[in-house]
Amino acid sequence: MAYIYLLNLHEKIDKKLIEAKKSIDTASNEPEKIKFIQGRIQALSEFKEFLNNNLNSKLPRRIRQRLKENQ
């Protein structure tokens, strides 16, 4: 149960990525806001990649399987 925070972190990052990708469509006429959102998407993507590369192998098998199902 101690590793569930990693799964929750993945879920929160996914939600933030979805929100950012939706908001980029609504800010089509504001170039500064688009650049900000693109930077946010890039930072979230890099953080998610870091988690995948460095921390997922340390998760228990049951949680790794649950994470794969959610992706």
Q: What was the pLDDT predicted at 71?
A: 62
Is pLDDT of 7 > 70? Answer: yes
Is pLDDT of 1 > 70? Answer: no
Q: Record the tokens describing residue 20, joined without a space.
A: 């950012």
Neighbours of 3 (CB within 10 A): 14
Q: What was the pLDDT predicted at 17?
A: 93
pLDDT digits (tens, 9 = 90+) for 9-67: 888 999 999 999 998 888 778 888 889 999 999 999 999 888 777 766 666 777 667 76
pLDDT grade, residue 3 (50/70/90)? low
Neighbours of 18 (CB within 10 A): 10
- Whole-Å CA distances, 10 to 25, 34, 61, 66, 69: 23, 24, 16, 11, 12
